[in-house]
Amino acid sequence: MSINLFDLTGKIALVTGGVHGLGMAMAKGLGNAGATIIVNNNSNDALNEAVKEYRSCGLNAYGYVFDVTDDRAVEDAIAKIETEVGPIDILVNNAGIIKRIPIVEMETKDFELVVKVDLVGPFIVSKYVAKGMIKRGGGKIINICSMMSELGRDSVSAYAAAKGGLKMLTRSMATEWAKFNIQTNGIGPGYFATSQTEPIRVDGHPFNEFIMGRTPAGRWGNPEDLQGAAIFLSSKASDFVNGHIVYVDGGILATIGKPSNEN
């Protein structure tokens, strides 16, 4: 019975931006739990390679090209997906960007672009997916938030503003849609070992030393560490969980000091 609570067999999951990194790791987790995976991207090349990767792992996967910030494109894509593959049971709003620019040097257009992709995008995609979920009587929506949903950090003002807004949008979605048996929650990743962080994950690098010392778990996260939270929030096991952000961060947000085993 407890195993069945996490079984996603027969479910269809759309993971926006799930063509690499943490999005792909979460999508693979959902696929290994039984779900059919749909990923999107703005270009065909990366999308086709991602679908090949999923299928090489024995997963049932499809790819669709559309821009998550384009209202009409999203509406058309959701309709096409549900006609060609089936109704979307699980939505993971993972697509996002970041621009590391100090506030006084940042162009307004750059600030607006980050907010458009990271906050307006999840609003648009969720709106159209939720309409079908409401008609069918249920569904799961997971917004990929961030530790920047809670904390500020130098040079990422737009990203922090968007992710802070996404936390509150998650709670608003839960407030409006829980009565339709839709559970809306978020995942806030900490610092993870990905290809993007590889250059700084070396002994002696200041940021590597900072993360290793600041994280109670004493390590960077592995992308697979996100799979459990994604499966839980996508499954029957979370049917009475609404409006929460699960921070998968090795304990960073739990403490203001170094781990107790550090001198």
Active site residues: 159
E strand or H helix at 139: strand 139-144
Q: 14 vs 88, 181, 185, CA distance in Å? A: 7, 18, 15
Dist. CA 164–CA 106, nearest whole Å? 19
Comparing C-alpha atoms, which of 13, 65, 67, 20 is closest to residue 43?
A: 65
Q: 91 vs 18, 33, 107, 143, 173, CA distance in Å? A: 11, 15, 32, 8, 13
Tell the residue number behind the tokens 């790819």, with chain if given: 63
List CB contacts of 98: < 8 A, sequence separation 6 or more: 114, 156, 158, 159
Question: Is 27:15 a contact under the CB 8 Å cutoff?
Answer: yes
Angle at 59 between CA 224 and CA 137, to 5 degrees: 90
